[in-house]
């Protein structure tokens, strides 16, 4: 069983966090593959090395889970969630330290990192309520004969997660999957491997038996091994669309249950009657929060008709953001260069740069991967910046003559994560809700993330598989139903169903 001392030892050697280890069967185990550097995006400094585990590490985690599964599955759900009640308290007690780790490995500013842990707490609270929500059903279907359904875990499951929420996205799946009796193997992003280690430690401290939750670090090789391993019954994936498709294909090819969430390109439609201050502050916050590295971030603002005053105010709000203080860096030097290339290409194609975040430097953090908030007007729907997921603090403004024109632009995107409309008219809001081709709709809300018990999930190229990854919808994914038909009444005789 891991201890805080283990973690302290693990973190002493240079670089600061030393060599990250896998967490398998309740122990810290060295990774079996080559290692790569982990950079702090705010400074560029190497803060850890993380292993790119191979199929052997996945195999070891599955073996540990196979040993743990019978006992965990046989534990009544009301007892299983006691671990999560204790874990929730630990998250609250450690919120400062857990947020600081996110700030360090991801680069988020403090309040964004803290919000991740608050959301992780909310997700854990939902899982604590699962005994109330995941009950079976019983009905007398003919005289003396009853049908009964009960939920059983799927078995050993895997969760492959992206870099952009080192703690929140793992919590989309961990609490629900565990509460419902599964054993889970988490594969964090190799860009942000540190938070996952603390999640494993705190779960162990809360009393989770060894082997019920393991962490295997790595990249495509470890993810591929999870998709192939015959001992794994279900996989969730969150990341870019190209990898979501590959994981969905490979997992289902191996006859596993798979839910794979992909990238996004979210359109915020701004009507001329929108309330200017609320709209402009929400649009600016949506495009710049977490440096635009949210799958729910505003990426395209579709400005309908006369909206120049709102556009000007969006620029003012975005200009007020200070890189290194209220705006964090992006994840890597590659990401910074990619985002800046998109801006340059759009400018060369005729877009007007209202606010330019290229070349931003933060004093004392010259090696950091910063891109300042950027607003481009006069973007046309055919430009790459209007079509691709840029994943940085960049807002592309596309002009549309009317609402139907705006909806056409939204519908042309293959992604379908989120869409929003800013208006003071209920009928306009309803019109957009009915027609937008996204799974999550905002009415005067720039980041329309459904909160528990509602499920999170998009449409189109933003999600492959059935159902949502969180909330009530996820209960179906993490369980199988057993249907039992019972007759104890000897006088019931026979009928057409006997």
Cα 467–473–474 angle (5° rounding)?
Answer: 90
Q: Which is nearer to ligand NAD, 161 or 202 (CB)?
A: 161
Helix, strand or coil, per DSSP, at residue 106: helix
- By CB under 6 A, which span of 48-56, 79-87, 239-247, 356-364 interacts with ligand NAD? 239-247
The rounded distance, in Å, linking the Cα atoms of 393 and 372 is 7
Q: Which is nearer to ligand NAD, 431 or 459 (CB)?
A: 459
Asked if 159 and 185 touch (Cβ cutoff 8 Å), the reply is: yes
Q: Which is nearer to ligand NAD, 36 or 69 (CB)?
A: 36
162 in contact with ligand NAD (CB under 6 A): yes
- By CB under 6 A, which span of 80-88, 185-193, 252-260, 316-324 interacts with ligand NAD? 185-193
240 in contact with ligand NAD (CB under 6 A): yes
Go through 348-371 and write b for each residue having 16 or more CB atoms within 10 A of its CB, e for each that does not. Answer: eeebebbbebeebebeebebbbbb
161 in contact with ligand NAD (CB under 6 A): yes
Q: Counting Cβ atoms within 10 Å, is residue 82 exposed (0-12), middle (13-18) or buried (19+)?
A: middle
83 in contact with ligand NAD (CB under 6 A): no
112 in contact with ligand NAD (CB under 6 A): no
246 in contact with ligand NAD (CB under 6 A): yes
Query: Phi and psi (nearest 5°) for 327?
Result: -135, 120
The minimum distance between CB 165 and ligand NAD, in angstroms, equals 6
286 in contact with ligand NAD (CB under 6 A): no
- By CB under 6 A, which span of 97-105, 138-146, 260-268, 489-497 interacts with ligand NAD? 260-268
50 in contact with ligand NAD (CB under 6 A): no
263 in contact with ligand NAD (CB under 6 A): yes
Q: Which member of 75, 219, 252, 437 binds ligand NAD (CB under 6 A)? A: 219
206 in contact with ligand NAD (CB under 6 A): no
The residue behind tokens 């090696």 is: 367
169 in contact with ligand NAD (CB under 6 A): yes
282 in contact with ligand NAD (CB under 6 A): no
The closest of 155, 223, 196, 171 to 2, measured between CA atoms, is: 196
Token readout for 412 is 């042309």
> Among residue numbers 346 through 405, which ones bind ligand NAD (CB under 6 A)?
389, 391
Q: Is the dihedral of CA 464, 468, 473, 479 positive or negative?
A: positive
Helix, strand or coil, per DSSP, at residue 1: coil
Whether the bond between 440 and the residue before it is cis, its omega within 30 degrees of 0, is no
194 in contact with ligand NAD (CB under 6 A): no
* 95 C-beta neighbours (distance < 10 Å), count: 17
The minimum distance between CB 262 and ligand NAD, in angstroms, equals 6
243 in contact with ligand NAD (CB under 6 A): yes
Name residue 29's beta-bridge partners: 22
Helix (H) or strand (E) holding 375: strand 374-379
The minimum distance between CB 241 and ligand NAD, in angstroms, equals 7
Q: Which member of 85, 92, 93, 220 binds ligand NAD (CB under 6 A)? A: 220
The closest of 156, 238, 220, 162 to 195, measured between CA atoms, is: 162
- By CB under 6 A, which span of 156-164, 196-204, 397-405, 406-414 interacts with ligand NAD? 156-164
Continuous H helices in 289-391: 308-319, 333-348, 384-387
Find the Cα–Cα–Cα–Cα dihedral 339, 340, 344, 347, rounded to 10°. Answer: 70
- By CB under 6 A, which span of 82-90, 146-154, 216-224, 271-279 interacts with ligand NAD? 216-224
Helix (H) or strand (E) holding 125: helix 110-128
264 in contact with ligand NAD (CB under 6 A): yes
Q: Which is nearer to ligand NAD, 246 or 475 (CB)?
A: 246
Q: Which is nearer to ligand NAD, 173 or 417 (CB)?
A: 417
Tallying the residues shown for the chain, one arrives at 498
- By CB under 6 A, which span of 88-96, 173-181, 232-240, 281-289 interacts with ligand NAD? 232-240
Q: Which member of 113, 295, 315, 351 binds ligand NAD (CB under 6 A)? A: 295
Q: Is 290 a catalytic residue?
A: no
The minimum distance between CB 439 and ligand NAD, in angstroms, equals 9
The rounded distance, in Å, linking the Cα atoms of 197 and 188 is 10
Give the distance from CA 149 to its chain's centroid: 31
Catalytic residue among 128, 183, 290, 295: 295
The rounded distance, in Å, linking the Cα atoms of 443 and 275 is 12
223 in contact with ligand NAD (CB under 6 A): yes
The rounded distance, in Å, linking the Cα atoms of 352 and 346 is 8
Helix, strand or coil, per DSSP, at residue 184: strand
Helix (H) or strand (E) holding 418: strand 418-422
The rounded distance, in Å, linking the Cα atoms of 43 and 41 is 6
The minimum distance between CB 185 and ligand NAD, in angstroms, equals 12
164 in contact with ligand NAD (CB under 6 A): yes
The minimum distance between CB 448 and ligand NAD, in angstroms, equals 12
**Which residue, judged by CB position, is nearest to ligand NAD in the bound state?**
239
Cα 230–234–235 angle (5° rounding)?
Answer: 105
247 in contact with ligand NAD (CB under 6 A): yes
Active site residues: 295
List contacts with ligand NAD (CB under 6 A): 160-164, 169, 187, 189-190, 219-220, 223-224, 238-240, 243, 246-247, 261-264, 295, 389, 391, 417, 458, 462
């Amino acid at each position: 069983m891991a201890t805080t001392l283990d973690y302290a030892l693990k973190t002493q050697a240079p670089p600061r966090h030393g060599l990250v280890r896998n967490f398998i069967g309740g122990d810290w185990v060295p990774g079996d593959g080559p290692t790569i550097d982990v950079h702090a995006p705010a400074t560029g400094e190497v803060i850890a090395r993380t292993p790119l585990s191979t199929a052997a590490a996945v195999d070891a985690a599955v073996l540990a889970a196979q040993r743990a599964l019978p006992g965990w599955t046989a534990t009544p759900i009301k007892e299983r969630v006691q671990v999560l009640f204790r874990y929730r308290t630990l998250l609250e007690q450690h919120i400062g330290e857990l947020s600081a780790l996110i700030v360090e490995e991801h680069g988020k500013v403090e309040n964004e990192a803290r919000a991740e842990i608050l959301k992780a707490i909310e997700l854990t609270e939902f899982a604590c309520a699962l005994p109330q929500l995941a009950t079976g059903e019983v009905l007398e279907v003919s005289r003396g004969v009853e049908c009964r359904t009960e939920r059983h875990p799927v078995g050993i499951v895997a969760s492959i997660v992206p870099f952009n929420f080192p703690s929140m996205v793992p919590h989309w799946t961990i609490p629900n999957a565990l509460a419902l009796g599964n054993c889970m193997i988490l594969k964090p992003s190799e860009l942000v491997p540190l938070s996952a280690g603390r999640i494993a430690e705190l779960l162990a401290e809360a009393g989770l038996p060894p082997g019920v939750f393991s962490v295997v670090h790595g990249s495509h090789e470890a993810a591929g091994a999870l998709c192939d391993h015959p001992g794994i019954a279900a996989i969730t994936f969150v990341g870019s669309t190209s990898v979501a498709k590959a994981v969905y294909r490979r997992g289902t090819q191996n006859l596993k249950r798979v839910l794979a969430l992909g990238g996004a390109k979210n359109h915020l439609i701004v009507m001329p009657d929108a309330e200017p201050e609320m709209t402009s502050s929400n649009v600016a916050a949506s495009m710049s929060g977490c440096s635009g590295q949210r799958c729910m971030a505003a990426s395209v603002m579709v400005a309908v008709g006369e909206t120049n005053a709102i556009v000007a105010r969006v620029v003012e709000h975005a200009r007020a953001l200070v890189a290194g203080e209220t705006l964090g860096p992006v994840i890597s030097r590659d990401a910074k260069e990619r985002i800046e290339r998109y801006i340059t290409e759009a400018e060369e194609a005729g877009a007007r740069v209202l606010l330019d975040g290229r070349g931003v430097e933060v004093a004392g953090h010259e090696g950091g991967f910063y891109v300042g908030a950027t607003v481009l007007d006069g973007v046309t729907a055919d430009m790459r910046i209007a079509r691709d997921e840029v994943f940085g603090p960049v807002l592309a403004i596309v002009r549309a003559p009317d609402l139907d024109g705006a909806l056409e632009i939204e519908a042309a995107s293959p992604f379908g994560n989120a869409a929003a409309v800013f208006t003071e008219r209920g009928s306009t809001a309803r019109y957009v809700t009915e027609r937008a081709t996204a799974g999550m709709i905002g009415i005067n809300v720039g980041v329309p993330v459904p909160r528990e018990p509602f499920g999170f999930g998009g449409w189109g190229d933003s999600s492959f598989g059935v159902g949502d990854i969180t909330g009530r919808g996820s209960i179906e994914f993490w369980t199988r139903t057993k249907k039992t038909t019972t007759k104890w009444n000897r006088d019931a005789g026979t009928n057409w169903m006997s």
